[in-house]
């Protein structure tokens, strides 16, 4: 009888040990799975924050820095934008601001810890030596709500649709500014001037690149 009782006790203890080990392993697996899930959520959140704060990437020729454009809605102004990158992100005053298609947006004029102010080419005080079309015609770009190019030699073969691009030593050569949309002679008759079709709307900018 004692031997029978002893066998039952051993079986009982083995069963308890087995099921205890089984549930402990299950709990450990559950806890590990929960921990990994939490870490995954944290990494995803960090990645999203990283994307929103600006990301450096390499193209064929330059290292550019991507930054988001803050909204000023409903008080939108074309001559100035604010971006979410500043001193901490390595932004410096006078840095050139463009779009991915090598379109000139403007230039950084003020830098703060985590944001910067950009003066755009729609600023009425903006002037920039430019060239036009395949014949590389010299002209002067004038910013404003309706940007234009003037001081164009009237003998030069200017056409609607010609591309206007930067030719000043302040900026990378050949950044696109706009296209000729209307041509007219000045009252003096020595030069021509032209209105421009701009390749972007400043109020619709969401992301820019900084040299």
b/e per residue 70-103 (b: at least 16 CB within 10 A): eeeeeeeebbbbbbbbbeebebeeebbbbbeeeb
Domains 56-122+203-210 and 127-199 share a fold: yes
Give the pLDDT score at 72: 84
Q: pLDDT of 119-160, one tens digit each?
A: 999 999 999 999 999 999 999 999 999 999 999 998 898 999
State the number of CA atoms in the 13 A half-sphere of 109 facing the CB: 13
Query: Which of the following CATH numbers is that of domain 56-122+203-210: 3.30.360.10, 3.30.70.2860, 3.30.460.90, 2.40.10.340?
Result: 2.40.10.340
Between CA 76 and CA 54 the distance in angstroms is 22
CATH number of the structural domain 127-199? 2.40.10.350
Between CA 73 and CA 204 the distance in angstroms is 11
Q: List the one residue out of 196, 177, 179 whose CA is nearest residue 106.
A: 177
Domain boundaries, the chain: 1-53, 56-122+203-210, 127-199
> Can you read off the two tokens belonging to residue 105?
């947006």
Whole-prediction pTM? 0.69
DSSP H or E stretch at residue 138: strand 137-142
Q: Which residues contact 43 (CB under 8 A, 6 or more apart)?
A: none
Give the pLDDT score at 77: 83
**Average pLDDT for residues 11-15, to the nearest whole number?**
57
Give the pLDDT score at 60: 44
> Can you read off the two tokens belonging to residue 5?
């009782």
């Amino acid at each position: 009888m004692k031997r029978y009782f002893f066998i039952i006790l051993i079986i009982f203890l083995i069963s308890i040990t087995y099921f205890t080990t089984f549930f402990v392993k299950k709990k450990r697996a559950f806890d590990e799975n929960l921990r990994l899930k939490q870490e995954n959520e944290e990494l995803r959140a960090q990645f999203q924050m990283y994307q929103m704060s600006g990301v450096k990437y390499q193209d064929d020729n330059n290292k550019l820095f991507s930054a988001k454009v803050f909204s000023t809605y409903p008080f939108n102004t074309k001559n100035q934008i604010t971006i979410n990158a500043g001193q901490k992100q390595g932004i410096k005053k006078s840095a050139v601001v463009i779009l991915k298609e090598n379109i000139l947006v403007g230039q950084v004029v003020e830098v703060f810890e985590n944001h910067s102010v950009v003066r755009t080419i729609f600023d009425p005080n903006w002037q920039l030596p430019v060239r036009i079309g395949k014949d590389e015609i010299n002209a002067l770009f004038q910013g404003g709500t309706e940007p234009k190019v003037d001081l164009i030699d009237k003998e030069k073969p200017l056409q609607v649709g010609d591309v206007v691009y930067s030719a000043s030593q302040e900026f990378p050569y050949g950044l696109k500014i706009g296209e000729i949309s209307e041509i007219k002679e000045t009252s003096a008759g020595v030069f021509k001037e032209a209105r421009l079709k701009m390749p972007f709307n400043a109020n619709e900018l969401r992301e820019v690149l900084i040299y």
